[in-house]
Structure 1
Amino acid sequence: MTTPTAAGVRDRHILRVHFHLPYDDPTRYEEFIGLLTTLTPLVQPLPPLAAELDVTGSLRLFDRDVEALGRLLQIRVKALYGIDTSVGAAPNRMLATMAADATPLGGLTLVPHTVDAIARFLRPRPVAALPRIGPATARTLTRHGLHQIGALADTPLLTLQRLLGTATGRLLHDRAHGIDPRPVEPGENAKSTSITREFPHDTLDPAAHYAALLGLAEDLGLRLRTSGQVTKTLTLTVRYADRTTTNRSRTLNEATQHSRALAADAHALLTVLGLQRARVRAFTLRAEGLSQAADASAQLSFEPADEHALALESVADRIRARYGAAAVQPATLATPHVRSRSATRQENRT
């Protein structure tokens, strides 16, 4: 089987790196980015804990192939900061991101620059693993028997365009064949950010589900306020014991960065899912459509309780800035059933 390739797909070498820190540290992250620029000037920061590098021009300079350069990156970060990384190496940004997401702590996943290797990497994966496939699109595809990326790649373009529309059909047809011409753009602001919380064991308890989601909303709100951003859309992803996932999205009434509002909308998403008997392994809460808080409009509130909550949030942020993110938290999060291992990452969406 012959699959199409984007022009120059064999000529690009992209690294996606995830930094594994126990908590967000903007100062440390800036140091990481500075280190990455010693390998290539083409570094796209994806704060708080990821970045992408185009190392195409660096291979000859360092006299290494892309895998060896990725290992060098990992060794330098580990030696200087004691931090483990996960790295994906591939011909384009989409493949590198998917490779990094599938890589365990301290590992490196290489997608070779051949049509067959790209097909072997993509075809067995579920269609929901492709970027830009939301829950509605995934439902449409699976309803028509397209459960894996391989089946999506084998579907004629015109059929996909009839199912999904001209632009989306073309985009997913290209992505299913491993085509992604987007360049690495140094300094570009990310358009989404997400936080994942994994339970130490598969969890049925609705109270634990709620508490974990509250913790995600608290962390996500703090991150948005620290970066001076607001979000207009929340997406909740639930990963179950059998490794399947469910996604639900919600457009907010107004763009916000406040944890209380994020928690309310996240809880509404959880309620819609109805997980009374679901064994949950992890939650991911993603803020999308990010914009600068200074440019966002806000509806005036005349409720004293709202003003009081915002004032408390501001005080809590100042305490966290001085003593750490865990210095202030809701009482619910101090109970034993929410002591779960959490990991954070941010994705760039274009």
Structure 2
Amino acid sequence: MERAIVHMDLDTFFVSCMRLQHPEMEGIPLIVGGGDRGVVASCSYEARRFGVRSAMPTKMALKLCPEAKIVKGDMELFSRYSNTVTEIIEEKAPIVEKASIDEHYLDITGMDRFHGAYKWTNELAARVTHETGLPISFALSVNKTVSKIATGEGKPKGNLEITAMQVRQFLNPLSIRKIPMVGNATFTLLSRIGIRNIQTLAEMPAQVLQEMIGMNGLELWKKANGIDIRPVEPHRERKSLSTEDTFHQDTTDIHFLRAVLCGMVESLAYQLRQENWLTSTVTVKIRYSNFDTEFKQCTIPYTSADHTLTKTVLELFKKLFHRRMSLRMVGVSFSGLVRGTYQINMFEDTVELMSLYQAMDKIKNRFGANAVMRCNGAFLKPKAL
């Protein structure tokens, strides 16, 4: 049976959410992001016509489009809208994967026996827009790669269907940049040898491509040929990342405990970013010397930023640790995960802070997760070192 995989993507999601709250912003060049030292988190199509793009420094964006209006993002608002859309889709679709805060994959294989798959998807997209006011694009095809590329080609408010017979015809003329895993470095490397469109890449021997760019070469060749067997993985709220530490000696040393928690957050946040996760639920766990175990949890806007998560964890720990009794264990857990690459709060943080995160992650990627860490000297006492 031919697979039927849908990719649904909310159009200019952050901008659309802000316009629902402020209708007067409709039709004008709009930038959602930080201040003068911040970056563009999202921008309207009116601003894109001037060359404004996501992750661009705000100063540069304003030089390109001086008339643009800048608004500060509201991750709490965005998370709420995202969850509403997910609920609408999950109510109707048999298998749903929440790929990011504004993207979903649906596996509706076999639904042609009861409904036209394209007609059914079109009706679902219309329902999302009707109930939330958010514009949405989608594409229906035989796998994740083709449907995602097709959604991008159909934006805004597009609704394409690419059958198995049409896959190569659809992909061939497109730039290799359209393949999700092709970044700037890979594009530059391939461009130097004349590979700029997907057809040229697809006709290249897979072994040669693998020798050029390493382990991902074969995967890239498959995607260029429209081959992708990855399943749609259902979104599970209980999926989590966690760590805990049982001490050799029970302690009430608050400075040491805070330092341990900070280290845990840094390690888990790095793992979030490496695996392209965002978390919305933070849990702190403690166990007293008498083995009593307590938890405290809170929900936050989706993030993978160390400083945001550290602040949340320390606040939870302060509320949780109230007895005059030694602790034998502390733990941190991040759950409510969705796929996403918004590594820090692009609405409040500066270009310098974003660069710092990227630099630290590059060092860790190259030399190991413990190659560079924040100094917890303010919290550690000599005996804890």
1:265-307 superposed Cα distances (whole Å, 9 cap, x missing partner): 55689xxxxxxxxxxxxxxxxxxx9xxxxxxx9613679xxxx
Q: CA RMSD in A?
A: 3.5
Corresponding residue to 1:57 among 94, 104, 110: 110
Which residue in 2 is equivalent to 1:15?
A: 6
1:47-78 superposed Cα distances (whole Å, 9 cap, x missing partner): 321111011133323x21x2212211122123
Which residue in 1 is equivalent to 2:217?
A: 169
1:1-350 aligned at under 5 Å gives the runs 11-20=2-11, 21=13, 22-23=16-17, 24-61=77-114, 63-64=115-116, 66-114=117-165, 117-165=166-214, 167-187=215-235, 191-192=275-276, 226-230=301-305, 257=344, 263-264=351-352, 266=354, 299-300=374-375
Distance verdict in 2 for CA 1:151–1:31, change over 3 Å:
same
Q: How far 1:131 sits from its partner (Å)?
A: 1.9
* SS of equivalent residue, structure 2 residue 106: strand
* SS of equivalent residue, structure 1 residue 155: coil
1:24-65 superposed Cα distances (whole Å, 9 cap, x missing partner): 53223222112112332310113321111011133323x21x
Distance verdict in 2 for CA 1:93–1:256, change over 3 Å:
closer
Distance (Å, rounded) in 1 between the aligned partners of 2:9 and 2:179? 18
Distance (Å, rounded) in 2 between the aligned partners of 1:14 and 1:92? 5
- Identity, % of aligned pairs? 21
Distance verdict in 2 for CA 1:96–1:193, change over 3 Å:
farther
Aligned length: 213
User: Displaced runs of 4+ in structure 1, greater than 6 A?
Assistant: none
Q: Is the 1:84–1:106 contact (alpha carbons within 8 Å) kept by the matching residues of 2?
A: yes
Counterpart of 1:89, as a letter, is: L
Distance verdict in 2 for CA 1:150–1:68, change over 3 Å:
same
Q: TM-score, normalised by structure 1?
A: 0.53
Specify every segment of 5 or more residues in structure 1 that has no aligned partner in the other structure, as ranges: 1-7, 195-223, 232-254, 270-288, 290-296, 304-350
Distance (Å, rounded) in 2 between the aligned partners of 1:75 and 1:154? 39
Distance (Å, rounded) in 2 between the aligned partners of 1:131 and 1:79? 29
* SS of equivalent residue, structure 2 residue 194: coil
Distance (Å, rounded) in 2 between the aligned partners of 1:302 and 1:185? 42
Q: Is the 1:39–1:55 contact (alpha carbons within 8 Å) kept by the matching residues of 2?
A: no
Counterpart of 1:168, as a letter, is: N
1:222-280 superposed Cα distances (whole Å, 9 cap, x missing partner): xx97225238xxxxxxxxxxxxxxxxxxxxxxx974667662155689xxxxxxxxxxx
Q: Is the 1:43–1:51 contact (alpha carbons within 8 Å) kept by the matching residues of 2?
A: yes
Counterpart of 1:94, as a letter, is: T
Counterpart of 1:175, as a letter, is: K
Distance (Å, rounded) in 1 between the aligned partners of 2:179 and 2:201? 11
Q: Is the 1:12–1:91 contact (alpha carbons within 8 Å) kept by the matching residues of 2?
A: yes
Distance (Å, rounded) in 1 between the aligned partners of 2:110 and 2:86? 18
Specify every segment of 5 or more residues in structure 2 that has no aligned partner in the other structure, as ranges: 18-76, 240-271, 279-298, 307-341, 358-363, 365-371, 379-385
Q: Is the 2:277–2:304 contact (alpha carbons within 8 Å) kept by the matching residues of 1?
A: no
Q: Is the 1:40–1:58 contact (alpha carbons within 8 Å) kept by the matching residues of 2?
A: no
Which residue in 2 is equivalent to 1:202?
A: none
Q: TM-score, normalised by structure 2?
A: 0.49
Counterpart of 2:136, as a letter, is: T
